[in-house]
Structure 1
Amino acid sequence: MENKKVLHIVSVSFSLRYFVGNQFHYFQEKGYEFHVACSDSPEFIVLSHEFGFTPFPVSILRSINPLQDIKSIYTLYRYMRREQFDIVIAHSPKGGLIGMLAAYLARVPKRVFFRHGLVFETVTGLKKHLLINIERLIGFCATNIVNVSPSVAKVSDRLHLNTSSKNELLGKGTCNGIDIAKFKPRLGFKDTTVVTIGFVGRLSRDKGLIDLIDTWKLLCIEYKSIRLLLIGPADERDPLPQATLDQIYGDPTIEYVGGVSNTSLYYNRMDIFVLPSYREGFPTVTLEASASQLPIVTTKVTGCIDSILEDITGIYSENTAISLYRSIKYYLDHPDMIKDHGINGRMFVEDHFSENLIYKEIEEKLFK
């Protein structure tokens, strides 16, 4: 097989583990050579050793900065011309804008953009129009667009973000699949004296944390042996109100762990998983929870709507505290459904989202 050179472009190194992760090892064994362009950080270099890629530090700011952005596009353009990549893959709106423009100008034969979500869904006014037009520019420059869920693809088509013929979907959705050997049910981690409802993700408004904490106050009036386990960092760009934070830090029935490098064992402490998000691309955390044999409560929004089988692996809630209360209450009142939906969820992930299945699709749809 002819060796192929692949360049991934991300704005922050933190996302590499989730967007690419074990793909690096899988494809390196097949003869692929990987480079990664990303804003410089100590973590970036550590990850380059862990995953075996060649790091190329370049400033990719999350905010719009015309002078710096043009400089970064030119820097990447020169790097692409020098290295002669076969494939360039860009992630996130800003990484996509910088990366796809540079790859288009450098005439890279295959230019792939991963549309991980639709940031404009929760903004309004001129900013919304700007973000939509950035997506359209990226779509023009790319040869292939991977929408990470069917619902993201549906919105993309409705808004004409790119020519439909460029669209790709990996399996039933996802960008990277799930490591089913890492995320799996394990005995001995649960506290059997309480029912633990868990959340994994950024503590932000977009993730529905205000609704979740308001729901929690209602649940605690009715149920005494319950606990809320929150895993994830506080989001400085979309901060929670102080009253919500005070409740999280001060309520003895809430355990806030913060950000962790490996979430797999924390799922094993939960009985029910909740993601009350207002927007997602495709929520990997719900698949991780399902792989860990947990029933899911999530919302009918873009991305989330594709991550469960209704009344089989989980149930939906509206984006309100009272609806979320009713959905969680259903599981608390029907413990047999907790077990059944958890078992079904594990099978759902094994059948459709395991890494090996998704990596074969990536090779067939993007690397050929």
Structure 2
Amino acid sequence: MEKQKLIRITTVPLSLDKLLNGQLRFMSAYYEVIAVSSDKAGLDKIGEKEGVATFHVEMSRKITPIADLMAVFRLFWFLKKEKPLMVHSHTPKAGIVGMLAARLAGVPHRLHTVAGLPLLETTGMKRKILDFVEKLTYASATQVYPNSHGLQSIIIQNNYCKPSKLKVIANGSSNGIDTTVFDPALFSEATQSALRKELAIDEHDFVFVFVGRLVKDKGINELVSAFDALRQTQGDSAVSNCKLLLVGDYETDLDPLLPETLARIHHNSAIRAVGFQNDVRPYLAIANALVFPSYREGFPNVVMQAGAMGLPCIVTDINGCNEIIEEGINGTLIPVKNEKALLEKMRLFLENTNYYLRLQHHSRAMITSRYDQKVVWEAILAEYRKL
């Protein structure tokens, strides 16, 4: 029997790789999967890795109306030719391009996953434009999947679409977490010691780690400032033996950090910025706790990844984060943009060993029981089969 076609769309190939790693290959056992994204070279690599066909449509994460319209029509003609059963988009720009093109092409099932709302941090005319685009995306979709219950509530509060069109799949998350890959047992003491030595981190140092884009919206200004203040505390051996590890790239064109933050990163001898890493697991393996003070999220993979690696987490009390982390069980929650609260929690992790160890004890089990990847994939497949 010939398989029906499933089109999966993201704005950039990195999202296909990092947000949906392994899922396209899994779905290809049931559907003829075609991955659509920008950056043809990067997209071809993902297609080869996942074992699926690809189609290149140039898209930008910026507001580019003329280019976006061209992308809609290029995708429209592709969909008219392919006649897929479903088009499933992720990320904001791929959402509006994919859902509009699919609606125009008469695709019967138009699915959009919401994994975050960048527009929540914008104001003025830009916010009005983005609100309109969001509503148009949802209106063009036949089903909208917020990847957290908190995000679902925000969508309803902002009247982006009718509640009847919304559904959170499984326990949340777009892809779950492969707990056999994110497992601290895979990294020996010798491997960890070698990386610590490479980064000039002492075996007895307490390492706070952040993984993600080094941008304002991820709370990096507050994190670096809080850590700088923490390190300036005099006469505290626990504080003097802590490090901050930043794993990720800067985005100076879209969401730059404050000049003083960049200066602190470069001049504080206890901060290690290692740039983007294809495999973040070794860095999580040598860390003691994740610090993730983001302003907004959908359902952050890195919090699940860190938890699976046995790390307690300090996260902001925002949707997604506050569903993965339960206060005082596998981590702790702080208010958004609250540098004082962040400083206090980091100090608590350093000074209250019993509290830290209690959180650490529950960290991995909380993830494996609720967010194992196969659970999420099977739930998405069940949703497809209903259609």
Give the TM-score normalised by structure 2.
0.91
User: Secondary structure of 2:144's partner?
Assistant: strand
Contact 2:228–2:268, Cα closer than 8 Å, also in 1: no
Aligned to 1:344: 362
Is 1:13 paired with 2:13? yes
User: Secondary structure of 1:228's partner?
Assistant: strand
Is 1:274 paired with 2:291? yes
Which of 301, 323, 335 in structure 1 is aligned with 2:318? 301
Give the drift of 1:61: 2.1
Distance 2:218 2:71 in 1: 31
Which of 212, 217, 221 in structure 2 is aligned with 1:210? 221
Aligned to 1:97: 96
Could you report, residue by residue, the CA deviation over 1:226-255 in whole angstroms, capped at 9, with x for unpaired residues? 111110001221111222112112211111
Could you report, residue by residue, the CA deviation over 1:138-160 in whole angstroms, capped at 9, with x for unpaired residues? 11110111101111100101112
Is 1:200 paired with 2:211? yes
Q: Which moved more, 1:288-297 or 1:168-177?
A: 168-177
Distance 1:123 1:64 in 2: 13
Contact 2:25–2:52, Cα closer than 8 Å, also in 1: no
Give the drift of 1:39: 1.2
Is 1:4 paired with 2:15? no
Mark the runs of 5 or more structure 1 residues left unpaired by the alignment.
Answer: none
Is 1:57 paired with 2:56? yes
Distance 1:337 1:256 in 2: 28
Q: How does 1:20-169 map to 2 (within 5 A)?
A: 20-28=20-28, 30-169=29-168
Which of 230, 235, 255 in structure 1 is aligned with 2:246? 230
Is 1:258 paired with 2:275? yes
Distance 1:123 1:170 in 2: 28
Give the drift of 1:333: 1.4
Give the drift of 1:130: 1.4
Change (3 A) 1:36 1:212: same
- Counterpart of 1:193 in structure 2: which amino acid? H
- Counterpart of 2:258 in structure 1: which amino acid? P
Mark the runs of 5 or more structure 2 residues left unpaired by the alignment.
Answer: 194-201, 234-238
Contact 1:139–1:163, Cα closer than 8 Å, also in 2: no
Aligned to 2:262: 245
Could you report, residue by residue, the CA deviation over 1:43-101 in whole angstroms, capped at 9, with x for unpaired residues? 21111111112111111122233332222111111111111111101111111001000
Aligned to 2:308: 291
Distance 1:251 1:367 in 2: 53
Is 1:359 paired with 2:380? no
Distance 2:175 2:257 in 1: 29
Distance 1:263 1:121 in 2: 28
- Counterpart of 1:89 in structure 2: which amino acid? H
Contact 1:116–1:147, Cα closer than 8 Å, also in 2: yes
Is 1:179 paired with 2:173? no
Give the drift of 1:2: 5.9
Give the drift of 1:287: 0.7
Distance 2:114 2:155 in 1: 9
- Counterpart of 1:340 in structure 2: which amino acid? R
Distance 2:170 2:361 in 1: 21
Distance 1:37 1:142 in 2: 17
Root mean square deviation, CA, Å: 1.5
- Counterpart of 2:298 in structure 1: which amino acid? G
Contact 2:228–2:264, Cα closer than 8 Å, also in 1: no
Contact 1:271–1:338, Cα closer than 8 Å, also in 2: no
Give the drift of 1:348: 1.3
Contact 1:89–1:112, Cα closer than 8 Å, also in 2: yes
- Count, aligned residues: 367
Give the drift of 1:126: 1.3
- Counterpart of 1:61 in structure 2: which amino acid? S
Could you report, residue by residue, the CA deviation over 1:159-182 in whole angstroms, capped at 9, with x for unpaired residues? 121121111212221111001111
Distance 1:64 1:50 in 2: 30
User: Secondary structure of 2:218's partner?
Assistant: coil
Give the drift of 1:10: 1.2
Give the drift of 1:366: 3.0
Contact 2:290–2:313, Cα closer than 8 Å, also in 1: yes
